[in-house]
Amino acid sequence: MRLHYLCSRGKISVLFLWISFLISPILVAQNYTISGTVRDKETKETLVGVPVVVNNLESKGVSTEQNGQYKLTLPKGKYTISIKYIGFEEENFEISLTNNITRNIELKQSSIGLKEVVVAAQQPDANVTAPQTGVQKLEISEINKLPVLLGERDIIKTIQLMPGVQGAGEGSSGFYVRGGSADQNLILLDDVSLYNASHLMGFFSTFNSEVLRDVTLYKGALPAQYGERLSSILDVQQRIGDNQKYHVNGGIGLISSNINAEGPIQKGKSSFLIGARRTYADAIARLSGVEDAQNAYLYFYDLNMKLNFALSDKDMVSVSGYLGRDKMVLKEAAEINWGNSFLTANWSHTYNRKWMSKTSLAYNQYDYYYAMDLGMDLSGESKIKDYSLKHEFIYEHNPNSKWRFGLSSTYHDMAPGDFKLNASDQDNSVNLHHRYSSENSIYASNQIKVNDKLEIVYGLRMSAFMALGKGEYYTMDANHNVTDSVWYKSGEVVKTYINLEPRISAAYKLNSFSSIKAAYARTVQNMHLLSYAAQGTPIDRWTSSSNNIKPELADQVSLGYFRNFSNNMFEFSIEGYYKDMQNQLDYKDGANIEGYDVVETELLSGKGRSYGVELMLKKRTGRFTGWISYTLSKSEKKIDGINDDRWYNAFQDRTHDISLVGMYELSPKWSLSAAWVYYTGNAISYPSGKYQINGKDVMYYAERNGYRMPAYHRLDLGATCLLKKTSKFHSELVFGLYNAYGRENAYMIEFRTNTKDPDKTSAYQYALFKFVPSISWNFKF
């Protein structure tokens, strides 16, 4: 097994060297650059993703970077530069390029545009031209037009409408990407990873869309600057506050409210953005006399913050933070709460036209706490603390070749559980050993335009994971019994895993409206989530690779065809993928992972594979916009000791997954939206028979995940009514209807003794949420 890894890794690295050797010597003629920053004229906020196009040259253009900067390199000559950006007035100017010039551009807000609808991020033909495959970029404006879920706009729910991305279902957190499990997605908010991106068991996500700038999901070949997870990266960035004027916006709804404020700290130089959100459905239920709610509290809140300082033309520092907490309380009986929090500082520095660097430091924490007072007092808590440093250089060798080099290092301190049990005569406590580890990586990647047709992004990432002391580590025999344990001192290295992760993604333009893209990537994951239930819970236990748990590995290949129609009004894509996974974990029968230091004895590992085809047709512009996406896929595991050592369907295996999304601007006042989803039910174990223990029915399971939940489908409707719109004040009413035709989707199927007739056994289906209407009033001034 081990030898096999080395061999395959070796081959890939050789291939890699060969490719970089082949494409690096590309000569560039006598060229000059025009560069600068694109800003909002009024707010001075830098604008990201603004297309800067050279009119004289067909399809020659760039989009502005994260800091609003653009750079065009052209042969000596005269050009007309044109900038068209939604929500702003068109800007055109002529230049005569005889040397390198800097030209900053300020765009004037158009009278018809509102700021939240202009956060576009792509060139109109990015679908065809961008070399990165398997990437979905979401515009916040697009999310704003979709039907609201329980009164909130939600980016996690929105990405689930994309091909290859599947929601984990109602009442469960997370999503699945290309057959991977929920813990194989790295969810980043301002480059900090969140261990649990859901509130209230997945009914809401941790992201307050009012403070976000954009969202990018990489589901295929990850660029080399990303790693640490097997399946996908969800990169969410918070907005930078307006450094010219103060604004407040908010929403008041039946279930939740939010309020956000932004403005200058020092006008023109620095800004703040803060956001707060709170749900109060429980309070409303209490007030309206719902009996079950009288002694129960159930809510979440979160706070977002971003401060931004332009220290000089070349230095930008930002500080962002997040604090979120969910609370569930049964008065005088029990309580659970959990949440993420982080603080990060980011410094970006521009050295010259070619070199730029970004440095960030972050502290990040996820923890949960629960307590019970029934007969005896019991409480337990668990905490993960991460300290991380990232440093990256971006080097533009020439306009056709851009390099990234970087390193990242994270120190994990995981406390899996500290329990207190207070009996009347004795206090007992159990403190499980902390697990310490260090996750490091270095990478280099190059985006290169080989010629007018071929563009390639390739890179190599080397990750080094070290399981560290202090702590007790175990030796197991073939039957997973602990035979020996060794105590490691603080900082002592227990085990190191070094992996090379080659990544390559290429786009070949067939013509100006169609392209073929292909990609290969290896990904490695060292943090593993052990779930108490198939759907996942907030109190699941994270564990790291150790002497007994090997890193998960995945090799993915994908191939796609992309075509735009009618002057980029329609986008079409078809993409196929195959993913081979190693060291996939699952539980042995009857596993118990809670309250013990040793979890390895309860786990089995084996291999996995997933493959599928994703289709998407999208209408991007016009009064009617929307998309259809369809995924046909398979995801399986084969682990010795489970399902008689045969292949079995992963829980998240879904054959068909369809999303239909439509948005229509009925009038300047009203806009309508609808979204319909359909997917094959999750693979699940149903009993193959039954027997009796102590006179009670017990189900007999003969195969793992051999059955399917009933198919899931649901229609959501939304309508937005613009009440008032002036340059000073804006307000709207948003109506939503979740599950419009009241489909009773199975949340759980239970096999048990019949409630009415104890001599019979029956299957019961539980469904959540038939028709959930919502109204909220949003304002901005």
Partner 1 sequence: MKTYIKKYKLLFLFVTLIATLSSCEKEIDVDLNSVPPRMQIEGIVKQGELATVRVSHTIDFNDNSGYPNLEGAIVTISDNAGNSEILKQDETGWYTAEKLIGVEGRTYKMSVVYEGEEYTATSQMPPKVSLDSLYMTKVLVMDYAFPTFRFKDPAGTVNQYYLALLYINGKQHPDVLDLPISAEFMDGSTFDETYQVYSNDSDNDPIKKGDEITIEFRCIDKGVYTFFDTLFRMDNFLTNPVSNISNGALGYFSACTTDRKSIIADWKD
Q: What residues from 502 to 561 belong to the interface with partner 1 (CB under 8 A)? A: 532-534, 537, 539
Q: Which is nearer to partner 1, 442 or 684 (CB)?
A: 684
Residue 613 in the binding site for partner 1 (CB under 8 A): no
Which C-beta is closer to partner 1: that of 266 or that of 295?
A: 295
**Secondary structure tally for the chain: helices H, strands E:** 5, 51
Q: Which two tokens stand for residue 608?
A: 């996995």
Amino acid at 242: D
Total binding residues for partner 1 by CB under 8 A? 89
Q: Which of residues 116-175 bind partner 1 (CB under 8 A)?
A: 171
SS3 449: strand
What is the smallest separation between the CB atom of 559 and partner 1, expressed in angstroms? Answer: 37
d(CA 180, CA 186): 12
Q: How far is the CB of 428 from partner 1 (least distance, A)?
A: 5
Which stretch in 215-223, 343-351, 472-480, 763-771 sits in contact with partner 1 by CB under 8 A? 763-771
Rounded CA separation 475/528 (Å): 19
Nearer to partner 1, 495 or 752 (CB): 752
Binder to partner 1 among 30, 288, 483, 694 (CB under 8 A)?
Answer: 694
Residue of 621, 688, 724, 729 that binds partner 1 (CB under 8 A): 688
- Contact set for partner 1, span 390-419 (CB under 8 A): 419
Is the Cβ of residue 94 or residue 472 nearer to partner 1 in the bound state?
A: 472
Minimal distance, residue 599 CB to partner 1, in Å: 14
Question: By C-beta, is 725 or 743 nearer to partner 1?
Answer: 743
Answer yes or no whether residue 379 interacts with partner 1 by CB under 8 A: no
CB of 331 to partner 1, least distance (A): 5
Counting contacts by CB under 8 A, is residue 702 touching partner 1? Answer: yes
- Report the C-alpha gap between 540 and 730 in whole angstroms: 43
CB of 655 to partner 1, least distance (A): 18
- Residues of this chain, 422-441, that bind partner 1 according to CB under 8 A: 423-426, 428, 430
Instruction: Decide if residue 765 touches partner 1 (CB under 8 A).
Output: yes
In the set 478, 691, 726, 728, which binds partner 1 (CB under 8 A)? 691
> Cα–Cα distance between 369 and 333 in angstroms, integer?
14
Q: CA–CA distance from 262 to each of 248, 268, 278, 306 (Å)?
A: 7, 13, 19, 9
Task: Judge whether 556 and 577 are in contact, CB under 8 Å.
Answer: yes
Instruction: Give 351's DSSP letter.
Output: -
Residue span binding partner 1 (CB under 8 A) among the ranges 33-41, 144-152, 674-682, 693-701: 693-701
The H-or-E segment that residue 766 falls in is: strand 761-767
Q: Which stretch binds partner 1 (CB under 8 A): 390-398, 544-552, 554-562, 748-756?
A: 748-756
Task: Rule CB under 8 A: choose which of 185, 772, 778, 780 binds partner 1.
Answer: 772
Task: Render the burial of 710-724: b for 16+ CB within 10 Å, e for the rest.
Answer: eebebbbbbbbeeee
Enumerate residues 266-305 that contact partner 1 by CB under 8 A: 285, 290, 292-293, 295-296, 298
Nearer to partner 1, 272 or 299 (CB): 299
How far is residue 149 from each of residues 24, 48, 247, 698, measured CA to CA in Å?
A: 49, 28, 25, 39
Shortest spacing between CB 405 and partner 1, in angstroms: 45
Binder of partner 1 out of 283, 303, 372, 569 (CB under 8 A) = 372
> Interface with partner 1 includes 56 (CB under 8 A)?
no
Beta carbons within 8 Å of 385's beta carbon, 6+ residues apart: 363, 364, 365, 412, 413, 414
**Which of residues 419 and 508 has its CB atom nearest to partner 1 in the complex?**
419
When the beta carbons of 617 and 768 are compared against partner 1, the nearer one is: 768
Contacts of 314 (CB under 8 A, 6+ apart): 349, 350, 351
Nearest to 604 by CA among 555, 630, 572, 641: 641
Among 84, 354, 752, 773, binds partner 1 (CB under 8 A): 752
Question: Minimum distance from CB of 740 to partner 1 (Å)?
Answer: 15
Q: How many angstroms separate the CA atoms of 365 and 369, rounded?
A: 13
The rounded distance, in Å, linking the Cα atoms of 729 and 57 is: 41
Closer residue to partner 1 in complex, CB, 331/724 = 331
697: contact with partner 1 by CB under 8 A: yes
In Å, how far from its chain's centre is CA 211?
16
Residues 393 and 447: their CA atoms lie apart, in Å, by: 14
Distance CA 554, CA 611 (A): 12
* Nearer to partner 1 (CB atom), residue 13 or residue 754: 754
Q: Which of 323, 389, 454, 767 binds partner 1 (CB under 8 A)?
A: 767
Site string for partner 1, 577-606 (x = CB under 8 A): ----------x-xxxx-xx-----------
Q: 737-748: buried (b, 16+ CB within 10 Å) or exposed (e) per residue? A: bbbbeebebbbb
Look at the chain and count its residues.
Answer: 781
Within 172-231, the residues that bind partner 1 by CB under 8 A are 200-201
When the beta carbons of 587 and 627 are compared against partner 1, the nearer one is 587
Is 694 buried (19+), middle (13-18) or exposed (0-12) by CB count in 10 A?
exposed
